[in-house]
Amino acid sequence: MKSSGAMAAMAIGEVAQRFGPAPHVLRHWETVDLLRPARDTAGHRRYGEAGLVRVAVTLRAKEAGLGLDAIRALTAATEPSARRDILRREAETLRSRIAAARDSPALVECALGCEHDDPTRCPHYRRRMAPEG
């Protein structure tokens, strides 16, 4: 830390060590416009306080299940209503994924207990694949 209270800029390796994602992940986040680190005179990335906050926000959003496109849209949104709309859509997507994951063990258990070697011959599979009507 500098004596002025401002945080010293960190190199990509330091950021990776502090937060966990490998440097190549941070570089990828830069290519998809999630991060915009400054460059020093040698061209090396330098992450200031705002960049470190952006890394932390990105990690937290990923932990919550958001994809990089949604995170980019969320961090780029300037209007609170736009952020809420993005979060509502993401919440619905997450609810759908959770519901599908809840069904998955039953599907796996059914397959494990199935007497058919070919799942396409199983009546349960055929019912599941039949068009709804």
- Tens of pLDDT, residues 71-87: 999 999 999 999 999 99
User: How far is the CA of 12 from the CAs of 7, 48, 72, 87, 93, in angstroms?
Assistant: 15, 11, 20, 29, 32
Contact 79, 87 (CB under 8 A): no
- Per-residue model confidence (pLDDT) at position 61: 95
Q: Is 67 helix (H, G, I), strand (E, B) or coil?
A: coil
pTM, two decimal places: 0.72
Query: pLDDT class for 6, splitting at 50, 70, 90?
Result: low
Tokens of 26: 């941070």
CA angle at 30 for the pair 27 and 36, rounded to the nearest 5°: 125
DSSP H or E stretch at residue 98: helix 80-113
CATH number for domain 1-67, candidates 3.90.1150.10, 1.10.1660.10, 3.10.20.440, 1.20.1630.10: 1.10.1660.10
**Boundaries of every domain in the chain:** 1-67
List pLDDT tens digits, range 36-58: 999 999 999 999 999 999 999 99
Position 31 pLDDT exceeds 60: yes
Cα 36–Cα 54–Cα 31 angle in degrees, nearest 5: 35
Decide the pairing of beta strands 38-39 and 45-47.
Answer: antiparallel
- Looking at residue 120, its pLDDT comes to 77
**Distance in angstroms (rounded) separating the CA atoms of residues 128 and 11:** 52
What pLDDT digit, counting tens, does each position of 88-109 carry?
999 999 999 999 899 888 878 8
Q: What is the pLDDT of residue 1?
A: 41
pLDDT of residue 121: 82
2 pLDDT higher than 50: no
35 closest CA partner among 65, 76, 63, 66: 76
pLDDT band with cut points at 50, 70 and 90 for residue 133: low
pLDDT computed for residue 3 by the predictor:
44
